[in-house]
Chain A
Amino acid sequence: MPADKSLIGKKGEPVIMHIERGKIGEFARAIKDDDRLYFDEAYATREAGGIMPPVTFLQTVSHWDDGRGRPRLPFDLKRVLHGEQEFEFLAPIHVGDILTAVSTVVDVYEKPGKRGGVMTFAVTETEYRNQMGTLVARARAVGIETGQVVKD
């Protein structure tokens, strides 16, 4: 797709995400992390006020998203790369919290590809607020559509 600047500001619908203990344990195992903070409730409560999700766990918002949460970009899935990802934590998140995630396209631009063609970049920012309305985290993702099928 060409870098269509009119996509900037496009928002997805709010996605409700329940922070669940079972899903946290599954995620921690998938990244091979045996930190008791993710599994042992008594320990986690003492150390951190409760079981917390791992650093990159907010990515699991896609479990709660029926597709409407992500502002739709006309990218070709066979040519899409995840370029960058950033998480900023502003307040603690614990099991039992109910987060609302809202994603916004904040930038779209083009660059010439190293192997020819034009690469299109889309930057999406997601804000996560808890049940009290507190902004607890912000995520920023850079998606790239390459000029051709991805090869290293």
Chain B
Amino acid sequence: MAAPTRYWEDVKEGDALPEVKVANLTRTDFVKYAGASGDFNPIHHDQTFAEASGNPTVFAMGMLNAGILSRVVTAFAGRPNVRRYKVRFATRAWPGDDIVCRGRVTKKLAQGGEKLVEGELEAVNQKGETLISGSFVAALPSRG
């Protein structure tokens, strides 16, 4: 879904961003992301390698989770308005996991001729554990 136009004046600190949910991650999702991104680290698709590395099974690339989380920002502001996106990886996502991504506006400011919104982001799994914490800066159109 493309983002509806949201004006800077209509946004308040504390506002929640649209949630993005992905249910039941699969190994196929990891393979699709491997092909799309070029990340062929076998720890994400090769069970034998994953086990030899001390893992119970393969797990999602952090950047797959980060890509899903980034949709919170694009659903809120629209892709052309994203100025900064930062993530910190906390724990890993496994096959069968559900991911819920959310965000919140923390600050409004005008800078460099743009009306900006800053916010914090979080992706959690079905147990409520944080997979990623993040932050963003987006420009929004102004009513002038």
**Which residues of A are in contact with B by a Cβ distance under 8 Å?**
23, 26-27, 29-37, 43, 47-49, 52, 54-56, 59-63, 65, 77-78, 81-89, 92, 149-152
1/0 per position for B57-95, CB-CB distance to A under 8 A?
000001110111011011000111011111111011000
Say yes or no: B88 contacts A83, CB within 8 Å. yes
Nearest neighbor of B52 in chain A, beta-carbon distance:
A78
Q: Given A92-B80, A149-B53, A152-B92, are A85 and B38 also a contact pair (CB < 8 Å)?
A: no
**What DSSP secondary structure best describes chain A's contact surface?**
mixed
CB distance from B139 to the nearest CB of A (A): 10
Which 8 A-B pairs have CB atoms at the shortest separation, nearest pair first?
Answer: A31-B67, A30-B36, A62-B38, A63-B38, A55-B70, A149-B54, A86-B86, A27-B36
Q: How far is the CA of A60 from the CA of B37 in the complex (A)?
A: 5
Nearest neighbor of A26 in chain B, beta-carbon distance:
B36
Q: Which residues of A contact B36 (CB under 8 A)?
A: 23, 26-27, 29-30, 60
Q: Give 26 pairs: A residue, B residue, CB < 8 Å, sorted on A.
A: A26-B35, A27-B37, A30-B32, A30-B35, A31-B33, A31-B67, A32-B71, A47-B2, A54-B70, A55-B74, A56-B66, A62-B37, A63-B37, A63-B38, A65-B38, A78-B54, A82-B62, A83-B89, A84-B89, A85-B62, A85-B63, A85-B66, A86-B84, A86-B85, A87-B85, A150-B53
Q: Given A59-B37, A82-B62, are A30 and B86 also a contact pair (CB < 8 Å)?
A: no
Nearest neighbor of B67 in chain A, beta-carbon distance:
A31
Q: Which residues of B contact A92 (CB under 8 A)?
A: 80
Say yes or no: is B142 at the interface (Cβ < 8 Å to chain A): no
Q: How many A-B residue pairs have CB under 8 A?
A: 120
Say yes or no: B74 contacts A84, CB within 8 Å. no
Say yes or no: is B11 at the interface (Cβ < 8 Å to chain A): no
CB distance from A108 to the nearest CB of B (A): 19
